């Protein structure tokens, strides 16, 4: 396979003008990562997704504009990265349907967002699906299409989105298994220590707590917000602790190391809260004033943003999405009637090229399990192990011994050298398991 740069894809939900917490925790790091060498970055505004949570067209349009302008104002450079609006690439919805037809409904039933809605309904004595649109239910498939359409290698997400990336892998894998290898299976890139910024009341800055400082607030409004940050009652001259001080954490998110050290010393020396707030305000303003200015200029000229987004999408459609969809359509049989397809045999051959995989996981009983799957077919389901290491060692042994020493005892399970290791998947013969294991040994050679 030819070496291509690592492709990183970031989806942005249009939720309106960002606050300082969004800037420090998400926008600033994402833009700075997009400048790293050797990565190819895709950023898109997930406006199809927005339709799931709001039915207010004015709000959809307005939020999309605000979010596009925000990211551009913060330095996202459409000359270096692909920047587009999801709905400008209608191949996304076409792919959503192709994936819908391989996605397991049971998997979607288990999606956190959907399950939470069902649980709420149950708590309230409502019908399970009351108020749940099929859009909410299908959200993970649309998201998988966003990712698989561009064969992204990595998708930076928060913890709450990991399950969606796993589903994208699952749908992509099923498709590959059925129709040959078309999709790269994406990985979630989880930023373990995302900078969370405290808000005005010291809790995490979040719209739902109503404690945010808007990123592009005019200078005077920013000043007022900073001065309303909650502090304790220590008087000027009394030493103050940086630990647990929201004011200090905010300062540090913007300041250099030297500035942070100076502020730490000022705290110890008993800086007055008013003075500390003044310094914080000036420090934030130095960084955000140019962004604010750019933001205001950008929203004042929506036509320019519209052109930029359309240009970005048009290029991607032509070069990537449209040709890829042609390939996929033909893979599933939506194909020129005058040209016979190679048919199932070729597809099976392609699918057979995708190797079987071991998957490790932990069950609710606290024990560690693995299974061997070939596409969506379960070949072997392990017994529980006390540690992930125990499961891992057995997997290594199975791969190494490539099916030698395996035997199956009816009603009991699969043994390896005398130890019970698990049971076969439904309608799987032990010979099939051995064949699959032999492929691991071949791969080693």
Contacts with ligand TRP, residue ranges (CB under 6 A):
9, 11, 13, 46, 49, 143, 146-147, 155, 157, 161
Q: Is 361 helix (H, G, I), strand (E, B) or coil?
A: strand
Distance in Å, CB of 143 to ligand TRP, minimum = 4
CA-nearest of 284, 276, 192, 187 to 238 is 276
Nearer to ligand TRP, 59 or 397 (CB): 59
Sheet containing strand 406-409, edge to edge, reads: 357-362, 368-374, 377-382, 419-424, 413-416, 406-409
Nearer to ligand TRP, 312 or 422 (CB): 312
Long-range CB contacts (within 8 A, 24+) of 324-327:
324/91, 324/149, 325/91, 325/94, 325/95, 327/182
Antiparallel, parallel or unpaired: β 39-45 and 6-12 = parallel
Distance in Å, CB of 146 to ligand TRP, minimum = 4
Nearer to ligand TRP, 46 or 212 (CB): 46
Nearer to ligand TRP, 46 or 102 (CB): 46
**Cα within 13 Å of Cα(42), Cβ side:** 24
Strands (E), 184-283: 187-190
Strands (E), 134-262: 154-157, 187-190
Nearer to ligand TRP, 60 or 247 (CB): 60
How far CA 2 is from CA of 5, 6, 352, 353, 398, in Å, comes to 10, 12, 22, 18, 31
Q: Are 186 and 147 in contact (CB under 8 A)?
A: yes
Distance in Å, CB of 128 to ligand TRP, minimum = 23
Distance in Å, CB of 216 to ligand TRP, minimum = 21
DSSP state string for 318-345: IIIIHHHHHHHHHHHT---TTS----HH
Nearer to ligand TRP, 28 or 49 (CB): 49
Q: Which residues, including other chains, have CB under 8 Å from residue 34's CB and lie 6 or more apart?
A: 8, 41, 43, 76, 80, 81
Distance in Å, CB of 406 to ligand TRP, minimum = 41
Nearer to ligand TRP, 29 or 388 (CB): 29
Burial class (CB in 10 A: 0-12, 13-18, 19+), 48: buried
CA-nearest of 281, 253, 306, 266 to 83 is 306
Distance in Å, CB of 200 to ligand TRP, minimum = 24
Distance in Å, CB of 64 to ligand TRP, minimum = 13
Nearer to ligand TRP, 19 or 252 (CB): 19
Nearer to ligand TRP, 44 or 251 (CB): 44
Angle of the 322-332 helix axis to the 91-100 helix axis, nearest 10? 30
User: Distance between CA 11 and CA 196 in Å, rounded?
Assistant: 19
Q: Is the dihedral of CA 349, 353, 354, 356 positive or negative?
A: positive
Distance in Å, CB of 343 to ligand TRP, minimum = 34
CA-nearest of 22, 135, 150, 139 to 84 is 150
Distance in Å, CB of 259 to ligand TRP, minimum = 32
Nearer to ligand TRP, 46 or 402 (CB): 46
Q: Are 298 and 71 in contact (CB under 8 A)?
A: no
Q: Which residue is nearest to ligand TRP (CB)?
A: 11
Distance in Å, CB of 26 to ligand TRP, minimum = 9
């Amino acid at each position: 396979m030819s070496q291509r740069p690592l492709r990183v894809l970031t989806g942005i939900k249009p939720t309106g003008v960002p606050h300082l917490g969004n800037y420090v925790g998400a926008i600033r790091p994402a833009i700075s990562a997009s400048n790293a060498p050797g990565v190819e970055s895709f950023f898109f505004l997930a406006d199809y997704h927005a339709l799931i949570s709001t039915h207010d067209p004015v709000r959809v349009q307005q939020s999309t504009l605000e979010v596009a302008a925000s990211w551009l104002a913060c330095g996202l450079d459409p000359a270096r990265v692909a920047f587009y609006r999801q709905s400008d690439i209608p191949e996304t919805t076409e792919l959503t349907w192709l994936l819908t037809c391989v996605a397991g409904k049971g998997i979607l039933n288990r999606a956190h967002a959907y399950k939470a809605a069902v649980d709420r309904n149950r708590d309230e004595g409502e019908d399970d699906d009351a108020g749940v649109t099929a859009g909410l239910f299908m959200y993970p498939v649309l998201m998988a299409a966003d990712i698989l359409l561009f064969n992204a290698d990595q998708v930076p997400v928060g913890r709450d989105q990991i399950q969606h990336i796993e589903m994208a892998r699952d749908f992509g894998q099923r498709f590959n298994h059925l129709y040959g290898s078309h999709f790269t299976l994406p990985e979630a890139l989880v930023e373990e220590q995302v900078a969370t910024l405290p808000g005005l009341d010291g809790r995490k800055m979040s719209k739902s707590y109503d404690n945010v400082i808007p990123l592009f607030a005019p200078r005077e409004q920013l000043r007022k917000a900073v001065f309303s940050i909650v502090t304790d009652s220590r008087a000027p001259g009394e030493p103050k602790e940086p630990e647990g001080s929201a004011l200090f954490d905010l300062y540090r998110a913007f300041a250099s190391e030297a500035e942070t050290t100076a502020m730490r010393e000022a705290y110890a020396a008993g800086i007055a809260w008013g003075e500390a707030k003044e310094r914080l305000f000036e420090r934030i303003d130095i960084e955000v004033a140019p962004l604010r200015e750019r933001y205001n200029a950008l929203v004042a000229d929506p036509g320019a943003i519209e052109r930029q987004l359309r240009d970005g999408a048009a290029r991607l459609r032509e070069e990537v999405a449209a040709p890829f969809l042609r390939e996929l359509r033909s893979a599933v049989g939506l194909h020129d009637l005058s040209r016979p397809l190679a048919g199932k045999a070729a597809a099976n051959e392609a699918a057979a090229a995708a190797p079987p995989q071991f998957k490790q996981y932990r069950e609710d009983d606290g024990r560690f399990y693995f299974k061997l799957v070939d596409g969506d077919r379960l070949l072997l389901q392990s017994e529980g192990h006390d540690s992930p290491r125990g499961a891992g060692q057995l997997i290594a042994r199975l791969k190494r011994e490539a099916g030698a020493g395996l035997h199956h005892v009816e009603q009991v399970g699969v043994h390896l050298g005398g130890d019970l290791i698990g049971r076969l998947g439904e309608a799987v013969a032990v010979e099939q398991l051995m064949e699959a294991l032999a492929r691991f040994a071949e791969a080693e050679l």
